[in-house]
Amino acid sequence: MSPMPQRFAAVAAVALLAVPAMLPLVSAALAWAAPEGEIWQHQLQHVLPRVTGNTVLLLVLVAAVTGVLGTALAWLVAGHEFPGRSIFAWALLLPLAVPGYVLAVVFAGALDFAGPLQSWLRDALGVGVRLPPIRSLGGAALVLSLCLYPYVYMLARVAFETGGARTLEAAQTLGMDRRSAFRRALLPLARPAIAAGVGLVCMETLADFGVVAALNVDTFTTAIYRAWYGMFSIAAALQMAAVLALLALAGVWVERRLRGGRGFAGQRPNGALPRLTLTGARAFAATGIASFVLAVAFVLPMAQLLAWAVKHAASDLDARYWAFAGRSVALAASGSLVVVAAALVHGYALRLERRPWLLGLGRLATVGYAVPGTVLAVGLFAPVAALNTWMQDRLDIAFGASAPQVFLQGTLLTMFVAYLARFLAVGTGPVESGLERIHRNLDEAAMLLGARGAGRLRRLHLPLLRGSLLAAAVLVFVDLMKELPITLMTRPFGFETLAVRVFEMAAEGEWERAALPSVLIVAVGVLPVVLLARRVTHVA
């Protein structure tokens, strides 16, 4: 039914949007074709084994801790009544608002040998008392677990609350008490959701750069960074990136397989889960556990952050600070504009042309959300540099000695293309569900009444999509405010944002001075978490 030009435009748009995500993967893969002698030998012998070991160990630790912690908190909140439950229900999501590197900075500063906690312990218990070092693999696992457990908590809770009531009742009529009903019926029911949550946690852990960099742990992301900035070997960085990308894509594949089998989100609410009212010591313990997690993961670190920020405000809250903030906001705003516009084009093209192969191509475009930012940054650097050389050659031929200098690497081009690759999926989510809610009959009605192409988009879809587009823009904006590795690795020389500033202060061990830029990032980050918390709380 669709005319040829429309089909061509739709296919071209979707194909073009797949380029940012595919290009870095291709250039990383190509790096294996030409192994670079010495440096690569060094990497292979000394770096790769250690990095792989650290990355895998970190993944296992974080997955285990978040899986247990997230599920336990979800069951506590979904299945029990205790003082403060309704507050904890949403407050336990708050750690999502804190970027990992900010939490890492606070922990590193607070748990340092000279930091407040250790000093207090020494005063109280004697000079010999020492905590295990926070700047270690264990410390990184702790920080990442505290940041990421909300993913598991959220998905597990929704699973318990939507599908749990009937299951629990059925199990109880079959003679099980509450405890064994949980273990033998509810837990298996929620297993796909828990697995999905742990899957998300693993993706985030694999992609993390800020926490491991601040806490001095060698993983793939830091190895890529060091190969590039330490050894100036783009080839070695790309080869590392290829291995990391392979791990990440394997993760995507496993996740899609897990989700494909059992639709964990397909459950419709079947009545409220009856909550067991805890009393006495058990109620006290429940409130205590929830408070402890929230305090360690959010309240105390934020209090410490604010205290440091206030302490250094007098000296650091200057024009330079506002320049970082302005740059961050401008970058996040323009980036989210680009990403949301692309998401709209993506969603609209797929709506016009619903062919299975085009949907597949569309999914390729959004696979970038799983590719770590470090991989995208180095993977896009090589093609952009090649493009730069090619353009320079053309100009030199045309103008000779008077040819203007091209310097694409000095622009924000690479950064925006990498943003597009990594965050397109964040934008397409709300846009697609928004478009899905607009019944196709409305398109046909508009068509019969003479509204075509752009007119239909303007008069019908844009007004109906306003909410979804705004939601997408807010989500992308916040993600871009927090984003570290892409901005760090693709920025023009001397271009500093809040996140980059935090990273630089952390690199110099100036933990307290990293607080002031962190505060603003967290403040912005709280916004979508509150929105999310409200939605999740209203599910049941």
Stretch (H or E) spanning 72: helix 48-79
> What is the smallest separation between the CB atom of 435 and other proteins, expressed in angstroms?
14
Residue 12, C-beta contacts closer than 8 angstroms, at least 6 positions apart: none
**Interatomic CA distance for residues 382 and 388, integer angstroms:** 10
Tokens at 95, concatenated: 């750690």
Q: Which is nearer to other proteins, 356 or 463 (CB)?
A: 463
Q: Which is nearer to other proteins, 179 or 439 (CB)?
A: 439
**Interatomic CA distance for residues 180 and 175, integer angstroms:** 10
Residues near other proteins, by CB under 8 A: 1, 439, 441-442, 444-452, 455, 459-460, 463-464
Residue 164, C-beta contacts closer than 8 angstroms, at least 6 positions apart: 78, 79, 186, 189, 190, 273
**Interatomic CA distance for residues 480 and 417, integer angstroms:** 13
Stretch (H or E) spanning 435: helix 413-437
> What is the smallest separation between the CB atom of 450 and other proteins, expressed in angstroms?
4
Q: Which is nearer to other proteins, 50 or 355 (CB)?
A: 355
> What is the smallest separation between the CB atom of 458 and other proteins, expressed in angstroms?
11
**Interatomic CA distance for residues 108 and 503, integer angstroms:** 13
Stretch (H or E) spanning 191: helix 187-207
Q: Which is nearer to other proteins, 281 or 448 (CB)?
A: 448
- Three-state SS for 472-483 is HHHHHHHHHHHC
Q: Which is nearer to other proteins, 352 or 387 (CB)?
A: 352
Q: Which is nearer to other proteins, 130 or 452 (CB)?
A: 452
Alpha helices, H only, 262-355: 280-294, 300-316, 319-352
> What is the smallest separation between the CB atom of 12 and other proteins, expressed in angstroms?
22
> What is the smallest separation between the CB atom of 439 and other proteins, expressed in angstroms?
7
Q: Which is nearer to other proteins, 280 or 450 (CB)?
A: 450
Q: Which is nearer to other proteins, 184 or 466 (CB)?
A: 466
Listed residue (75, 268, 153, 142) closest to 533, CA to CA? 153
**Interatomic CA distance for residues 76 and 78, integer angstroms:** 6
